[in-house]
Structure 1
Amino acid sequence: MADLYDSFATLAANEIEGVDYRIHIAPRASPFAIVAPHGGRIERGTSQIAAAIASNRFSLYCFESLRPRAKGKSLHIASTRFDEPQALRLVAASEIAMGVHGRIDGVDRASVWVGGLHESLRDAICDALVRAGFEAKAVGEGHRLSGRDPANICNRCGRGAGVQLELPETLRTAMANEPSRRAALGAAVRDALERAGPLTA
């Protein structure tokens, strides 16, 4: 299904901030920015997962739909077209950006799909998630959720290569009910970023 809006400018011209959507931004002195462009009622749970990864150490950005139920999804802007100005500034000022997204379960209700153009960091995050007890798959070229388009918000960082997480609905729902599990995922990803991060090619 095509997005209702193809840019933030068209969304902002038709929706009311504080009523239909809100933006949460927490810039920090860090080379990393964690971005949830489809938070709130668009891809439920992604804002909370992004916040768990960022903790109080990485910069955080969340765009959240406040519209009820199915209408919330109408504020989705594809990651390759997501151009909200504050998000672009935060990501551009960061060495590495990570996009946190939700996906439908499909045939895989458990795995975190890890993509993006920063392949070595992608693989390090997969390894860290598996060590922490999660299922994770590195997503390469050709997959519809690979996060490899240079226009993707995660790749518009200083390095020109970021990382994208796609979490299935079942896993996101479980994390909403088990904050300790969400915290464990956040810690695993954060550790991988701090160990590898901008120091990798």
Structure 2
Amino acid sequence: MNSTPDEPRPSFPEEPGGDAAQEPVVPPEPVVPPEPVVPTEPWTAPAPPPGAAFPPPGAGATPPGALPPQGGYPPAQDHPRGVGYPPGPWTQQPPPRQGLSFGAKIGIGIGIGVLLHILAIGVVFAILASAEGAGGPLEILLPFIVIAVATVVLMFFAKTRPWATGVLIIVAAMWLVVVGPCVALLTGFGSF
């Protein structure tokens, strides 16, 4: 094994003819900007199409070839809604949102569902204590069935639907995690 490096190779092949074949470099011609267009007669804005939302007269219309007012944009007459103007006093602002959002109402419904099920568990323990442990499966399930049926009824009304959605989330969780296993344990995994 030899530790001396090989001879260096050229990274690209040499051109035939050597240095004599090089062409002279010619710089590009300078670019002259065109002269600005100056209208000879006063310009008037074309009439907007019916139903188009354009700003009031004199609120930023520019003649062709002229620069738009400082901070403005040229009118976009090709666009059906007349988009192209900056926000200003002529633009309609969206109305402020009133009340709670749908997600906030669902969150409140989840809290209501938790409170209802805590009360239902208390009712179940009261039923079991009063009957001295002789409560049947229907007596144990009755408070949870009432909550589920009432919540399903509330889903049919648009005003109560977000809250009912939150409560139904807790109803499903309680039936899977608490009610089903507890009823199975209390009834000895037997059939109803």
TM-score range, shorter chain: under 0.3
Choose 1 or 2 for highest CA Rg: 2
TM-score norm. by structure 1 comes to: 0.21
RCO higher in structure (CA 8 A, sep ≥6): 1
TM-score norm. by structure 2 comes to: 0.22
Higher strand share: 1
